[in-house]
Amino acid sequence: RNVPRSTRSPLATFWEGKPDSLNDRLATAGISLLFNQLHELVLESAREKRDMEQRHAVIKQKDLTQDDDVPEIQAEPGAVVTEGYLYKRASNAFKTWSRRWFSIQNNQLVYQKKAKDVVTVVVEDLRLCTVKRCPDHERRFCFEVVSPSKTCLLQADSERHLQAWMCAVQSSIASAYNEDHPESSGQVRSSASLTAATLQSPSSRKLRGGVDKHVVDRVQRLEGNAQCCDCREAAPEWASINLGITLCIECSGIHRSLGVHFSKVRSLTLDAWEPELVKLMTVLGNQVINQIYEARVEEMNMKRPQPGSPRSEKEAWIRAKYVEKKFITKFPNAGMPPSRSNEPPEQRRSPRPRAPPPSEDLRHLHPGALLYRAASAPPSLPTMSDALAHGADVNWVNTAQESRTPLLQAVAANSLLACEFLLQNGANVNQSDSKGQGPLHYATILGHTGLACLFLKRGANMNAVDGEGKDPLGIAIDSANADIVTLLRLAKMREAELALGQSGDETYLDIFQDFSFMASNDPEKLARKAYDLKLTTL
């Protein structure tokens, strides 16, 4: 059909006949160049895809020709352990599946869409993950790589391919454990003083012997600890140190997301454990804590999550249990202000607490008062946990007894575990009473060397003076307590050396470790009498 030139589109006019201007010729050349570049890109992409498919086919064929027992995979550091195509389920709301090229290298699980693409890291450190099959999934040959922060659901092409990948991940995890990597800088915990910073640094932990290989056995041996506290998965290798429970890797990731004010997560196999913390874990445990945080589960007909439950279900349960505290038994006076003590003043002067009357119902106390009373001699860690679960302030002040705190009561009771428990739950190591005496003063006055060592490690202020102008070192000298004098002088020397930029002698770290070990396992060796008769200084 003949169409007038004036009504034709510019594109139709351009393609009709030969170009009759310089601009038209340049435009044609530009389009031709772009077409050629696009064609090359398509060909290159096709070649890359062909090469990756061929590599994938070779890997699958190799898997099929191996024996039934998949051998442990060996690889040089930094080399690719295994690679190939896997289907990955997206974490978005649509849960779509995409085919990606996965590989294990540098103790990481990574993937990419094309060979030259930048890799996306799925697991940054294979030591922190585990792998398990998903036999109940609607798709065949699925498995999960579970890390504390997320879960990645993958699908292999066949049963043999699935076994090969699971073996590769497990072998890489074992290899990562055996390699001597320096600890991550993220594991260094801040401290209130130079002394605490050095005592808790990764280098000092290495000097003190590193990770205790028997921590897992000791902690899991306690009744109830052989399963995850929240989902009941067997052989948990993570823990919440302020709660005193064991966790599987997936539940530990959910606990970590709650924040340290709710749960402090630590690995039973990767992290170094102080002896007092190990002992604390063996005194509390899943059974004790679940009696508190799951007290009304049966009454409310609540269904606990199982090991194979979706992560979202576990997360909802954990938040309801520890953040919202839906399942605890409410205290009668949980929302009421605490009452003042009726004790006469002459009975409040001694730093040593007395046990409460046997007939007293402690559950009718305000949570803060309950925590204070439970920290007194003899301390009750389950009752202290119960008080904190019901909202007790860990630094609650008893104004009727010289403004003492639960931590000061635990010091007076000479309970290393009660002090450790309170510190793990945020107790202020420098909070003093009305006389200006803090936990370190109390430990020094009473001759509790193990507690003095603990507070120095936790950043206690060695230079704080009480109402009489005395610091802990002066009190220790007056009390003729050679062990505490030694600890304080070593800590002061170390602090001075660091202030001058000197590395100093690391021997004192071993001395502190020895004191910590004796305080936890052989406390009678540290028993010292506090002398009433003070030494006269010349």
Give domain status of residue 415, yes or no: yes
In sequence order, which residues have a C-beta less than 8 Å from that of residue 512 and are 6 or more positions away?
Answer: 199, 453, 456, 457, 487, 490
Assess whether 218 and 146 both reside in one domain.
no
Q: What is the CATH number of the domain that holds 492?
A: 1.25.40.20
Assess whether 477 and 424 both reside in one domain.
yes
Q: What is the CATH number of the domain that holds 91?
A: 2.30.29.30
Q: Which helix (H) or strand (E) holds 250?
A: helix 249-258
CB 162 within 8 A of CB 141: yes
Distance (Å, rounded) from C-alpha 210 to C-alpha 273?
A: 8
pLDDT digits (tens, 9 = 90+) for 420-452: 999 999 999 999 999 999 999 999 999 999 999
Q: Which residue has the higher pLDDT, 116 or 316?
A: 316
CB 453 within 8 A of CB 420: no
In sequence order, which residues have a C-beta less than 8 Å from that of residue 120 and are 6 or more positions away?
Answer: 110, 111, 112
Nearest to 204 by CA among 484, 451, 420, 457: 457
Assess whether 373 and 481 both reside in one domain.
yes
Assess whether 295 and 371 both reside in one domain.
no
Distance (Å, rounded) from C-alpha 206 to C-alpha 202?
A: 6
In sequence order, which residues have a C-beta less than 8 Å from that of residue 104 and are 6 or more positions away?
Answer: 80, 81, 82, 83, 110, 126, 168, 169, 172
* For range 274-280, the mean pLDDT: 92
Helices (H) and strands (E) in the chain, counts: 19, 10
Give domain status of residue 394, yes or no: yes
pLDDT digits (tens, 9 = 90+) for 166-204: 888 888 877 776 664 444 333 333 333 334 444 444 334
Categorize the per-residue pLDDT at 138 as very low, low, confident or very high, splitting at 50, 70 and 90. Answer: confident
Assess whether 385 and 485 both reside in one domain.
yes
Assess whether 298 and 424 both reside in one domain.
no
Give domain status of residue 28, yes or no: no
Assess whether 520 and 383 both reside in one domain.
yes
* For range 467-487, the mean pLDDT: 90
* For range 284-292, the mean pLDDT: 96
At 137 the pLDDT is: 82
Give domain status of residue 532, yes or no: no
Assess whether 416 and 522 both reside in one domain.
yes
pLDDT digits (tens, 9 = 90+) for 371-386: 999 999 899 999 999 9
Categorize the per-residue pLDDT at 339 as very low, low, confident or very high, splitting at 50, 70 and 90. Answer: very low
Q: Which residue has the higher pLDDT, 484 or 80?
A: 484
Give domain status of residue 6, yes or no: no
Assess whether 260 and 313 both reside in one domain.
yes
Q: Which residue has the higher pLDDT, 18 or 208?
A: 18
Assess whether 386 and 499 both reside in one domain.
yes
Assess whether 293 and 429 both reside in one domain.
no
DSSP state of 125: -
Q: What is the CATH number of the domain that holds 231?
A: 1.10.220.150
Give domain status of residue 535, yes or no: no
* For range 269-294, the mean pLDDT: 93
Tokens of 325: 């505290």
Cis status, amide bond into 4, omega within 30 of 0: no
Overall number of domains in the chain: 3
Categorize the per-residue pLDDT at 92 as very low, low, confident or very high, splitting at 50, 70 and 90. Answer: confident
> Which of 176, 200, 228 is a domain's end point?
176
At 254 the pLDDT is: 95
At 7 the pLDDT is: 57
Assess whether 383 and 522 both reside in one domain.
yes
Give domain status of residue 346, yes or no: no
Over 70: is that where the pLDDT of 511 sits? yes
Domain that holds residue 149: 82-176
